[in-house]
Structure 1
């Protein structure tokens, strides 16, 4: 495995701080379903990403495809950009937090 791939995997696991079980349970909630960009009632990009992250967390490193690694890079980029936009005050019940959680990152952890 190339060093770039190893760094991608490490960065992914650094930003995804929810377990597959936690994320899977979160994705079933109304709050999860009501945040993010979507087209005409489709599943949001973040929600779809969350389902993909659950699958990635269940895979062995040796089974990661190039597409998996590309998605990991997308997750890392999203979490870094979104955390930089943290709102002031209590974030517990904010769309900002819920959106991050769809991407596997709970900023309250």
Structure 2
């Protein structure tokens, strides 16, 4: 288990799963489609950014199996999604947002077009 207080881990786990609103299947499909090139298709285990792949790995883990690297990525994703959403000129209407922003957010598991759970 990682070096983190259990209450802090519980809060991070909940926030990460609130922010990462795509399922592992949705994220995997997105990483494959988004990274696909017309001339060549990379191997599935190499699709997406390292962070996107790490998020995908975290989605397949139990909380007790998290590593310190997992926790760092979880904090990074929560902070990055929050910052990018705050900078979104479309504000509360994600349909008016920049498609590039949506694609960047989806690459770490957050689809701004999905309604909150």
Q: Tell whether the structures are fold-level matches, with TM greater than 0.5.
A: yes
Q: In the aligned structure 1, how far is the partner of 2:14 from the partner of 2:8?
A: 10
Query: What is the RMSD computed on CA atoms of the aligned residues?
Result: 2.1
Q: In the aligned structure 1, how far is the partner of 2:86 from the partner of 2:49?
A: 20
* Corresponding residue for residue 2 of structure 1: 6
Q: In the aligned structure 2, how far is the partner of 1:13 from the partner of 1:63?
A: 16
TM-score by length of 2: 0.74
After TM superposition, give the deviation of residue 67 of structure 1 in Å.
1.5
Higher CA-based Rg: 2
* Corresponding residue for residue 95 of structure 1: 100
In structure 1, list runs of 5 or more residues that go unmatched.
Answer: 35-42
After TM superposition, give the deviation of residue 87 of structure 1 in Å.
2.7
Q: In the aligned structure 2, how far is the partner of 1:59 from the partner of 1:50?
A: 15
* Corresponding residue for residue 54 of structure 1: 56
Moved >6 Å (runs of 4+): none
TM-score by length of 1: 0.79
Q: In the aligned structure 1, how far is the partner of 2:96 from the partner of 2:12?
A: 31
In structure 2, list runs of 5 or more residues that go unmatched.
Answer: 37-45
